Structure 1
C-alpha cells in the first residue's frame, strides 16, 4: 500500500486540474505535487525502523510479525491523522507563498500573462503590492498558529516523542513546499500560464488528506482525528473472511489505484509520448502473469501478517516482464524514429516511451498474475 497512495493522489489532482481547464504541464505538475505529498506521511517508517532496531537490541526477535508489532505502535500514529494533514497542507502552502514572495513572484493558475513584453505592462503600485501581500501574510500566520497548536496538543496528549515526530514531519513538509515553490516558478517562467500558490496547496492537500484512507485495509487503521479526538476506526476493514482472499482483495485495491494514476497520466499527456496510448502500450508478454497461478499450490498461503510471501514473488515477476517489454519497445521506437526522420539519435523520447510501456506492461502482468493466483486458490 506504499505505492497506491501516490498514484491515487496523482489521479485525483491531475484529473481535477484537467477538468478545471489546466493544460498538460499544469495537470502533470499538480498531480506530481499531490503524489509527493501523499508520500511524505510514510516517512515516519524511518522512526518505526529506528524504534524496532532499539527493540531488537533489547531482545525483540527478528521477523516481519515482530517488526510490525513494534512499528504499528509508532507508524501512522502521528503523521497520518487528518488534523496533521490539514496543518501539513497549510504549512506547505505557507512555504510556497513565502518563497514566491521572497522571489517577487505572483503566479496565477492558468491566467495568461501579457505577451507584449514587460515594457508594455504597468508595474503594480506600492499600495497594490501592499494589499496583495495581506492574504499571503495571513496565510503564513494561520499556518504558524495551526502548527503550534498541533504540536502543543501532541505534547499534552501523546508526550515528547510524538511531538518531535510531528515537528520533524512539518519541517520536511515546509522544505518540500519551498522546493515546490521554487521549481514551479522556474518551470513556468516566461510562459503565458503559471501555477498559483492556491493550486499547489490544494494539490498537496489531496495527497495529505487521502493518504490515511489507504491504510484502513492493513493492520490497525490510523487514528483519523488524533490528537484532537477519538479514533473513528479501531479495526481494519476486512474484504473477505478467508485471510488469503482478503490479502488478494487488498492487492487488487492497490492495483486499481495504480491503474487510475496511469490512466490519468495517459489521458493528460494524450499523444505526447510518440502516440503511445494506454491500450496500445499493452504487450503480449503480460500474459506471462498467468504463469503465476501454480504459486497457489507451491507457496505457503499468504495473509496480512506475512504478505511478503505474495509481494516478494508476484512483484519481481511483473518487474522482469516490464523491463523486457520496455527494452523491446525502446529498440522498436528508435528504429521507427530513425526510419521516419533519417536520424539515428532519438534516444530521449524512446526512453520516455519505453518507460511508459514498461509501467503498463508490468501493471498488466501483475493484474493477470493476481487474477490467476486467485482463480487457482479458489480451486484448491
Structure 2
C-alpha cells in the first residue's frame, strides 16, 4: 500500500507577524533583500501504478488425482480436499496482483458422478482449492469445454460464480461472450483476458450457440481485444489454447497467431496452454510471447515425464506515459509428482524445493534443466529471469 504524505502549513501567530514586520526596516537598512513569500508546497506526484500477473498451465484432473482426494476424505471429514495438491504453488499465486489458472475441464454435479479421459467431469471441490490458493480468474476455453455438453459448460461457470472466481472463455449467452473479461487489481489496474481454443474434440457447439466456446480466429480475438481496450482495460492478455500435444515447439498456427496478435496495439502479451509440455518463450513484435506453459496439475503416462513438468509465468507491468509495459519477466519451473499408493501427488516450485532440500532432488534437477532449455530455445529472451 502506498501512502501519500501531505505537507501541512501552520499559520503564524499574530504576535509573530508583528515581530517580523518590525524587523523589515532594519533588514533593509542592513542591505538585506526584501523577504519573499514562500511558495505553496507541491504535493508529491503519485508513483506509477504496477501490476504483477501470474499465469499457470493446465489444471487437468486425471482420475488418480481424484482418487488421492477420495482416500484422504475417507476419515472423519468426507470432503474432497485438493488444497494439499495445489499448496505448492500458493506462495507465487497468493502474492500476485492477479493470478490466472486454466481450468481445462468441466465440473460434475455436486457429489458426482465424475468421469475422466477422454471426456472429463471433475469434482466441484477442485474449484474450492483454486479459490483457496488465491486464483482470481480462470480461462475456460479448451478442447474439453463441451465434454459434458451445454449443461456441463453452464454448470462450470455457475460453480465459478458461486465461489467468486472470475472466468474468461466459455459463455452462457451472446452478451457474456462479447463482454470484455476484465479484472481490476487493488491498485486499480484493469487487466483483460481474451481467449479461444483450436477445437472442441469434434463435439459441435450447441445449436444456435456458436458463441459458447470461442475459437482461434485472429480477427475475432483482435476485435475482442479492441473492445476490451475501448472498455478501459489497461492491459490486454490473449491466451491461446492450441498447438500440437507433447511438442516442445510451437506449430504454424501458434506462430502465426503470435505475430498477428502482437502486431496490434490492443494486445500487450500472448501466452498459451494445451500441449501438456513446456514450450519456448520469446518476443514477437517487441512483446512477450509464452508459447506453452505445460501442465500445472495432471497425471500423464509414466512414459511422458514432460507431462509432469510445467512453467509458471510472472510478469510485472509498470505504467508509463504510453500505457503499461513489462518491467520484469520471470519463469518459474514446476513439477507435479506421480500419484503412488500411499503417497499422493504433490506440486513443487522446482527451484524453491531444490534450495530447501525438499522432494526428489534428481527429478527436480531434470525438470529444471529441461524447462530452462526449452524456454530459451528460440532466443529473444534477454532479460528473462528464472525464479
Q: Is TM-score (shorter-chain normalized) higher than 0.5?
A: no
Higher strand share: 2
For normalisation by structure 1, the TM-score amounts to 0.23
Rg larger in structure? 2
Relative contact order, higher structure (CA 8 A, sep 6+): 1
